[in-house]
């Protein structure tokens, strides 16, 4: 009998999302990896063993035991695309959109991303840190235990570095596992005559300043770009991403949110970790994505929030054998939501994903989208002991019900949070 730090026993459903060292594709997405009357043994914040309660209690005992009888237990959720660090809100634009103005019209008129940039430039570091931290607290209560966070509301070197410092300080101090992404090419600020000139500054001035602040060797660190008509075209996006790649960063891209430009093909050629949005990606490019190792990240809270009835064809990507992930895209404009369960609720209804597919997309595959596929996203031996005890015996209820919160308790790195 071995003594461990923590045992979780008698989970009605222990939903492991186990991938065996790989992300899930196609038919595998329908398998949530469920163990009935499941148990976990945890040591030093990592999962030491997974099995039935009978098997695990025959081998291990612990000082501390969580009895999850009558409850479903799932991996901590992984929000692989967020803009959590921002100032202010866009309540006036929300009303403008309700009255018929479009997201891109508002952006072209100097609102949208630029309005959040102005607020973020003006906000002192401490306040930006405190407000972002509070957002992460909310995400954690809703079950998110790992998040990627992008810069991109600075668009000058000083403010991009301020945001990146907020992110790295949150990574050091917050319970969540956090992965930073540099999104200097999020919009073209009005100080610049055109996208190419601004992108040149991003590559030659911002990027070296940003990479100088990071220890690139071990931690995942990404570069991202908003590849969209009227923002950065494919050629300019490729230059920015290639420069990040040469500096040792992983590649991500916002593509095909409104207009299809061929960004998926470009990003897959660069070996991107993920391509995100995919709202208007044609089947031919979803086929290319489906054959690649690049994760396709759908952000259906954006379509929902913008009042759209059209959603990314996530069903097609899964059926084409691609790696699908889901994320909130939390930001004050296109997706003001901290809730991964809400995202799964939308994805099941409008993108025709089964609950098991949505959960695998929000955990294991999302972890692969941010370079943490070996560390988090499933309940497998050796991974971080990040899991959620749900106030329901059937995990599907977390996706079937919406607007509430079925997360009863959150365990991160083997520590039960109050």
d(CA 13, CA 35): 6
For the CB of residue 22, give the shortest distance to Fe ion in the complex, in Å: 26
Indicate whether 228 belongs to the interface with Fe ion (CB under 5 A): no
For the CB of residue 329, give the shortest distance to Fe ion in the complex, in Å: 4
From the list Fe ion, ligand NIG, none, partner contacted by residue 257 (C-beta under 5 to 8 A by kind): ligand NIG
d(CA 357, CA 260): 26
Select 257 or 285, whichever has its Cβ closest to ligand NIG: 257
For the CB of residue 33, give the shortest distance to Fe ion in the complex, in Å: 29
For the CB of residue 186, give the shortest distance to ligand NIG in the complex, in Å: 6
Q: With residue 333 as reference, give the H or E element that holds it.
A: none
**Cα dihedral 330, 45, 365, 233 in deg (nearest 10):** 50
CB nearest Fe ion: which residue? 329
From the list Fe ion, ligand NIG, none, partner contacted by residue 236 (C-beta under 5 to 8 A by kind): none
For the CB of residue 134, give the shortest distance to Fe ion in the complex, in Å: 20
Indicate whether 279 belongs to the interface with ligand NIG (CB under 6 A): no
Interactions with ligand NIG, residue window 235-274 (CB under 6 A): 254, 257
Rounded to the nearest angstrom, the gap between the alpha carbon of residue 356 and the centroid of all alpha carbons in its chain is 18
For the CB of residue 90, give the shortest distance to ligand NIG in the complex, in Å: 7
Interactions with Fe ion, residue window 271-310 (CB under 5 A): none
For the CB of residue 81, give the shortest distance to ligand NIG in the complex, in Å: 7
Interactions with ligand NIG, residue window 116-155 (CB under 6 A): 116
- Exposure of 292 in the CB half-sphere (CA atoms within 13 A): 24
Contact stretch for ligand NIG (CB under 6 A) within 45-53, 108-116, 162-170, 366-374: 108-116
Indicate whether 184 belongs to the interface with ligand NIG (CB under 6 A): no
Sequence-distant (6+) residues with CB within 8 A of 363 are 17, 74, 75, 76, 77, 78, 377, 378
For the CB of residue 252, give the shortest distance to ligand NIG in the complex, in Å: 11
CB nearest ligand NIG: which residue? 333
- Phi first, then psi, for residue 196 (nearest 5°) are -65, -40
* Closest to 390 measured CA to CA, from 366, 355, 365, 364: 355
For the CB of residue 299, give the shortest distance to Fe ion in the complex, in Å: 7
DSSP string, 21-39: TS---GGGGG---EEEEEE
Q: 306-311 — which CB contacts under 8 Å span 24+ positions? A: 306/97, 306/103, 306/334, 307/97, 307/98, 310/279, 310/280, 311/279, 311/346, 311/350, 311/351
Select 306 or 397, whichever has its Cβ closest to ligand NIG: 306
DSSP string, 344-392: HHHHHHHS---HHHHHHHTTHHHHHHTT-TTTSSS--TTSB--EEEESS
From the list ligand NIG, Fe ion, none, partner contacted by residue 116 (C-beta under 5 to 8 A by kind): ligand NIG
Indicate whether 112 belongs to the interface with ligand NIG (CB under 6 A): yes
d(CA 138, CA 157): 29
DSSP string, 261-275: -SHHHHHHHTT-SEE
- Phi first, then psi, for residue 86 (nearest 5°) are -155, 165
Q: Per the structure block, which two tokens stand in for 230?
A: 């009227």
Interactions with ligand NIG, residue window 289-308 (CB under 6 A): 302
Per-residue burial over 126-146, b = 16 or more CB atoms within 10 Å of its CB, e = otherwise: eebbebbbebbeebbebbbbb
Select 21 or 110, whichever has its Cβ closest to ligand NIG: 110
For the CB of residue 71, give the shortest distance to Fe ion in the complex, in Å: 33
Per-residue interface string for the shown chain with ligand NIG, residues 309-348, x marking contact by CB under 6 A: --------------------x-xxxx--------------
Indicate whether 224 belongs to the interface with Fe ion (CB under 5 A): no
Per-residue interface string for the shown chain with ligand NIG, residues 213-242, x marking contact by CB under 6 A: -------------x----------------
Interactions with Fe ion, residue window 306-345 (CB under 5 A): 329
d(CA 220, CA 235): 25
Select 159 or 334, whichever has its Cβ closest to ligand NIG: 334
Q: Per the structure block, which two tokens stand in for 301?
A: 């809270």
| Site for ligand NIG, rule CB under 6 A | 83, 112-113, 116, 226, 254, 257, 302, 329, 331-334
| Site for Fe ion, rule CB under 5 A | 329
């Amino acid at each position: 009998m071995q003594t461990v730090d923590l045992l979780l026993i008698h989970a009605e459903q222990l939903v492991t999302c186990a991938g065996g060292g790989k992300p899930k594709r196609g038919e595998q997405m329908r398998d949530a990896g469920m163990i009935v009357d499941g148990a976990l043994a945890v040591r030093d914040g990592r999962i030491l063993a997974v099995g039935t309660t009978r098997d695990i209690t025959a081998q291990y005992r612990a000082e501390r035991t969580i009895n999850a009888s009558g409850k479903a237990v799932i991996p901590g959720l992984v929000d692989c695309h967020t803009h959590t660090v921002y100032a202010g809100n866009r309540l006036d634009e929300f009303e403008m959109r309700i009255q018929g103005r479009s997201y891109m019209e508002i952006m072209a008129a100097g609102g949208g991303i630029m309005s959040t940039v102005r607020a973020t430039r003006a906000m002192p570091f401490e306040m930006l840190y405190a407000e972002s931290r509070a957002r992460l607290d909310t995400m954690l209560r809703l079950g998110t235990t790992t998040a990627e966070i992008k810069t991109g509301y600075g668009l000058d070197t000083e403010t991009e570095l301020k945001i990146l410092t907020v992110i790295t300080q949150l990574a050091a101090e917050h319970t969540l596992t956090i992965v930073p992404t540099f999104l200097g090419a999020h919009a073209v600020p009005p100080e610049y005559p055109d996208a190419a000139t601004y992108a040149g500054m991003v590559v030659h001035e911002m990027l070296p300043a940003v990479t100088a602040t990071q220890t690139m060797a071990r931690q995942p660190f990404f570069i991202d770009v908003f590849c969209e008509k009227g923002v950065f075209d494919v050629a300019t996006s490729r230059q920015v991403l290639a420069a990040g790649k040469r500096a040792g960063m992983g590649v991500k891209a916002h593509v095909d949110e409104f207009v299809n430009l061929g960004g998926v093909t470009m990003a897959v050629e660069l070996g991107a970790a993920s391509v995100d949005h995919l709202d208007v990606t044609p089947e031919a490019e979803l086929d290319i994505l489906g054959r690649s190792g690049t994760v396709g990240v759908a952000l259906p809270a954006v379509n929902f929030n913008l009042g759209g009835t059209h959603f990314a064809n996530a069903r097609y990507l899964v059926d084409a054998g691609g790696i699908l992930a889901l994320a909130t895209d939390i930001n004050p404009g296109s997706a003001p939501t901290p809730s991964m369960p809400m995202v799964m609720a939308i994805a099941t209804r409008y993108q025709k994903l089964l609950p098991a597919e949505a959960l695998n997309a929000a955990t294991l595959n999302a972890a692969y989208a941010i370079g943490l596929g070996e560390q988090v996203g499933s309940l497998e031996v050796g991974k971080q002991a990040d899991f959620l005890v749900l106030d329901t015996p059937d995990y599907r209820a977390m996706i079937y019900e919406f607007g509430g919160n079925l997360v009863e308790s959150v365990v991160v790195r083997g520590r039960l949070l109050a």
